[in-house]
Chain A
């Protein structure tokens, strides 16, 4: 399946791009992260501490155990600082 992956704030800076399209068969978010981390070193640096990250699936907050089936957009970012 084809998934759009978005990165925000320091996750975007560490990975070096705001979005990319990924072809994957990953079953869960954690599987997708593991797959990305087999690529260039910058991915492992960005995903080193998952407790410092949040994930949204199709623009809804979710978690790393969540299944990816049917998901079109995955976003990774640090805890939000609005207001």
Chain B
């Protein structure tokens, strides 16, 4: 299990390749990457992600440990950036390795659902009108109930 919280960009290809290599007993690798998306109407200049150093790492570790206890997983990777990002930049990635794909897919979805509303990150979008904090969506909170 590897949890990384960093300001710098990450190399998705290299991370995925590294994560997928070296297992002989894991038949399924799932990766998900979140990308900064331009917003409808006004052009997004940049996104700034704030986080709570210390709690962020603990929360991500807790979420990953819970995934490992619920599904048959060989490995979990979570990388999440903070700081200044531009449209098209990769914000975060999760990867799961499991003997079979169902566990790998479900655990990746679980990780995404939980880190959206239980890891202490806050996004602020900047357009020509200035900065606006992204509001949490009810559907993101509702998504937790299915687990």
Contact = CB atoms under 8 A, between A and B. Distances in A.
Contacts of B141: 79
A8 B51 CA distance: 8
A81 B55 contact: no
A82 B80 contact: yes
Interface size class of A (residues with CB under 8 A): 10 to 19
B91 A83 contact: yes
A47 interface: no
Contacts of A8: 50, 52, 120, 122
Interface stretch (B6-14, B64-72, B110-118): B110-118
A81 B134 contact: yes
Contacts of B120: 8, 56, 75, 77, 80, 82
B102 interface: no
B92 interface: yes
B54 interface: yes
A78 B122 contact: yes
